[in-house]
Amino acid sequence: MDNIRRALTMSGREIEYVVTKNPPRGGMKYTYFTPDKSLVVQFFNDPENAADPGIHDRIKAIIGRYNPTVPEKLGGANGNDERTAAYFSKCYCWPLDIVVRPEFGIISPAYPKNFFFGDNASQILQIKGKDKKSNWFTGRSRKYLNSSELGDFRSMLQISILLSRAVRRMHQAGLAHSDLSPNNVLVDPRTGTCVVIDIDSLVVPGLFPPEVIGTRGYVAPEVLQTLGMDRKQRKFPGVQTDLHSMAVLIYEYIFLRHPIIGPKIYSEDPEQDDYLCLGEKATFIEDPVDTSNRPDDLKVTVNDLGPHLEDLFMRVFCKGLHNPSERPAAIEWERGLLKTWNLLHSCSNPNCDKRYFILHDINNPVCPFCGTRIKDDTILKLDFYAQRRGNPGRWFKKSEMIAENNTPLCVWNLHSNVFPDEKAPDREVKAYIQKKEGRYYLVNLTLKNLLSPDGSTVPPGYATELYPGAAFRLLRDDDSLLMKVELFNIN
């Protein structure tokens, strides 16, 4: 085929790509695919960018010493090992190599297949093969998608956790994405996964930042507000503006609405209105003090997400909206979302399209999405305690969990020094909760040293009853967590 060309890369590889007539074109680059479509080869629209040594240095740093998808010993980011590199490879489409011939360009992995719409995504829209930008799911087009595409509340919460983790990892290294938006974070609600793309416009410490402003609706107010000002006064995208953009995305994933674009009109002139609404005068639609931008029909609010997320959203969209240093860090979002995840409970209404909600108030066990009260007589709450290091016998609460039939326990629910992040040794279910004839049991799947409340071993395949008031070490292990069982009667 005469439309096949060869690219020579910085690492000395030759990569074939297919030249097409109208290649997909973004703001900065256009894209060709390799014949097997596993990689993309991108070149710059503007030859000046392609020749800019600043851009070359930045992309070299992104591919090399700042790269969380490659182990440190292979030239990737500091402290990265094979496991964390493999974990983060799934979180981003991180550039792999630089093209040096025929001209400067970038090689990246193609988006994984599940981030493209398939045959049965919609009866009405022609979207087969389109990438899954989150506004397909959070905006007006949502109603034209088949319900099998939409996921549920739990899958959107999982996407939020993965996004906060991906952003946290970049920020830990000092990198900022600078343009987090539905276009640059693809989501797949069916599997509860997301992938951060357009990594080559990252802001790298000490290297010249790219001329990115951001995307309407996701740009931090201070960036929009200072756009026309001289360079000294202007605010540029960075870590703090990422924290705003990320929170807007998470709010949209959870509520399917924008946190700032509400009913308030700021100016008769539509352009000025937009500029004030998202910039200088931006107001959270749920602001508890200034209610001028509050829609009439807010059924579900941040209060319904429990204390951890309510606090984070209030900090980012009230205090932090015009005060960037008040915005919670990505790691705070990751932790708050994980704590919230532990409070998920299934909805008792078989027709509830959210299927899960946050049971943060046991005295009011009602799904806020459909108004259905839990049709069960009891709720099981598990409190997990860890031993203070160097202080045996002193315990502190590590986490709490609302459990129901089939709630899984993984390695981070058993050990004090393991968290459900990229460093977790595995993500397998080790044991689970079973409800049978009104009683709760802990069923062991694979643990060799699981204990029962009376201290005897529970072999794999066996179960032990979790009766109210039981408090016991889960494992015969120094770093084992202690679990306390509480049972609440609700009906």
Instruction: Give least dist CB 491 to Zn ion, A.
Output: 17
In the block, which residue shows the tokens 């591919």? 63
Residues 329-348, one symbol each (x = binds Zn ion by CB under 5 A, - = not), give ------------------x-
Instruction: Give least dist CB 365 to Zn ion, A.
Output: 11
> Prior bond to 102 cis, omega within 30?
yes
Helix 239-255 × helix 153-172 angle, to 10°: 170
Nearer to Zn ion, 286 or 304 (CB): 304
Q: How many CB atoms lie within 10 A of CB 365?
A: 20
Stretch that binds Zn ion, among 44-52, 259-267, 365-373, 473-481 (CB under 5 A): 365-373
Instruction: Give least dist CB 337 to Zn ion, A.
Output: 20
Instruction: Give least dist CB 298 to Zn ion, A.
Output: 17
Q: Is 374 in the site for Zn ion (CB under 5 A)?
A: no
Q: Which of 367, 433, 470, 483 binds Zn ion (CB under 5 A)?
A: 367
Q: Is 312 in the site for Zn ion (CB under 5 A)?
A: no
The token pair at 185 is 């974070």
Instruction: Give least dist CB 347 to Zn ion, A.
Output: 3
Residues 345-364, one symbol each (x = binds Zn ion by CB under 5 A, - = not), give --x-x--x------------
Nearer to Zn ion, 156 or 212 (CB): 156
Give the 3-state secondary structure of residue 28. Answer: coil
d(CA 328, CA 320): 8
Nearer to Zn ion, 369 or 432 (CB): 369
What is the DSSP-derived secondary structure letter of residue 316?
A: I
Q: How many CB atoms lie within 10 A of CB 417?
A: 11
Instruction: Give least dist CB 359 to Zn ion, A.
Output: 11
Nearer to Zn ion, 277 or 358 (CB): 358
Name the amino acid, one letter, at 409. Answer: L
Give the 3-state secondary structure of residue 146. Answer: coil
Positions of E strands within 173-212: 185-188, 193-196
Give the 3-state secondary structure of residue 143. Answer: helix
Instruction: Give least dist CB 369 to Zn ion, A.
Output: 5
Nearer to Zn ion, 314 or 347 (CB): 347
Q: Is 370 in the site for Zn ion (CB under 5 A)?
A: yes
- Which residues make beta-bridge pairs with 203? 176
Q: Which of 369, 384, 440, 441 binds Zn ion (CB under 5 A)?
A: 369
The 3-class secondary structure across 89-131, one letter per residue, is HCCECCCCEEEEECCCEEEEECCCHHHECCCCCECCCCCCCCE
Nearer to Zn ion, 156 or 282 (CB): 156
Nearer to Zn ion, 114 or 349 (CB): 349
d(CA 350, CA 370): 11
Helical ranges in 212-329 per DSSP H: 221-225, 239-255, 270-278, 307-314
Q: How many residues bind Zn ion (CB under 5 A)?
A: 6
Nearer to Zn ion, 300 or 411 (CB): 300
Instruction: Give least dist CB 300 to Zn ion, A.
Output: 10
Which residues contact Zn ion (rule: CB under 5 A)? 347, 349, 352, 367, 369-370
